[in-house]
Every structure is written in C-alpha cells, then in structure tokens.
Structure 1
Amino acid sequence: MFELFVWLAGSVLAWLAADGRGRSRWWSLLSWIGVAFVLVLPSRRHDPAAPTPETHVRCPECRELVRMDAKRCKHCGNRLVPNSAKPDSPYTEVELVEKLMAAVRNDDQEGFNLLLAHGVPAEAVGRIIEYADLYGREYVKAAMMRGRVE
C-alpha cells in the first residue's frame, strides 16, 4: 500500500514539474524517473526578455539585433538613426521616401519640412542625403543629420 502511495505522489510531482516547464504531461507516467528528467530538461516557456520585432531592430551596418531605442549599435558602434515614422502617418514608408525625394528635387523646403515631421525610415536616410548632395540641397543634408529642418 505504501509503494502505491509513493508511486502516486511521484506521478503527481512529475505532472506538476512537466506542466510548470511547458513539457508534456506524459512524464507523469514515468513517476520518479519523470521527475528527474523533467527537472534536467530545459524549460520550453517563452522568455520575456527575448528580442521581438516590437523591442529590437537590426543594425543596418552589421545586421545584429539591437534595442529599438539604442543610439549606437553595441556590436559595431555604428550610429543608429531612429525610425520615427509614426503609425498614424498617411504615407507608407515607400511613399514618404518618394515624396521627400520629390521635395528635394523641386527645392520645396516647406514641403520637405512637413514630410520630415512624419519621420524618415532609417534605411532611407543615406539615400536621401545622397540625393540632396546630387541637387546641392545643403539644408536637406543638415536636416537629415539633425533629424529636422529649421
């Protein structure tokens, strides 16, 4: 009778340990051996500190994951330009870049200022600076380095 109680207690412990670690409850059939295996195996629960698209981005230089609010990449030291495109912006990133380039081409500083308020995708900053250099628009280059035009 005592052996049956010990086996039953071991089954319950294995079931609880397996459930707490995100493992199959079938380990409870193995009783005490199941308890040992479940405690040795790594947990399959989701790590809340793991990088997600909401918290991390890839560095454009070295392609390593860095926190979204970082100013420099911790892997290569590259200066990061935050992607400040607002979710309520009426433009997609592609449309916004096209409109910014059209404002540079047409020397429309006021239009450029208005579009710049929607945010510039980090991947497009270098391309817009090159485009402004092609047309000799120094105010655009200065604005992209500062993040705004005055």
Structure 2
Amino acid sequence: MITGLLFVQALTFSVLSGIVASNKNRDMFGWGIIGFIFGLFGFIAAIAVGEAEEVQSSSRQRNQPSGAREFDPDEHEKKCPMCAEYIKLEARRCKHCGHEFSKEEVERQVEEIRESVKGSESASEGEKDERNYKSDEYDTEEILSTHDFNGVGMCEDCDYTREYVKANNYVCPGS
C-alpha cells in the first residue's frame, strides 16, 4: 500500500515537472524523469529554472553577417490617416478608430518599408554624412520633428523610417 502511494506521488511529480519544463521551453521528458526520481525537489527545481532561449533564432542570427537583419514587419508601425495613432504595419484595421486599409494598400506599405529598411541598411554600410547624426544628448522628439512622416511611417524627404531615425538620432537634411 505504501509502495503504491509513493509510486503515485512520484508519477504526479514527474508529470508536473514535465509540464512546467515544457512551458519554459525545456526538455519535458528529462525533467519528468527528474521529477519522478526526486519528487517534490525535482518539481521545485523545474519551477526555479529559467526559460530556455530558442536555439533556432539565435543560430539563424549567428549565420548572418554583422549588421544584416531579416525584415520583421512587427518592428514597424504606420500612422492611421484618420486618427493619427500608430498601429502595426500589417494591420488592416485601426484598433483606435476602426479605419480600414485595403489588402493592396497594406501590401504596398509593407513593401515600401521593406525597401526603405533595405536602403537604410545599405546606406549605413556606405559613407554617412556625419552632420545629420546627432549624439544621444539630443531629444528624440526634437529629432523626429525634423522629419515629415507620411501615412506609412517613412520620411518624405529623406526616405528613412521612424524606427531608423529614432535608433540613429538622424536629423532630416530637408528640414
């Protein structure tokens, strides 16, 4: 009777440790064995360990040349022409006012930003006009005010995205 009870307890902690480990991107089977052998202590250890980093994304970044990044539309925003709030680049409807964008318009905006990012990466690899890049002591809002951003978050004068301007403290030469 006691053996059966200990077996059920070990099985319970095994399953719980495996579930906790799986939620933290860890090996569910390995942590299940630890929970089975060590019981409550294995379960506590599974709770205490941190979340594992995704190996696939870090290895993909290591294989890319330095400075080169894959275009991610989630990192970019566009300004709604109706309510002037910023929304995700791929959004088809503004979450603030409900304004709808056509599928073609969204695809065009994504492509424009993709080309802009590609152009700004190639421009950053070449010669920069250092006069337009300000040190970190300058106010970000002041720098952003030198640009004329249109509905897709790209300056009409210098063709740089809002994110690029903020990251590099770039003052628009057209201002």
TM-score (norm 2): 0.34
TM-score (norm 1): 0.39
Report which of the two structures shows the higher radius of gyration computed on alpha carbons.
Answer: 1
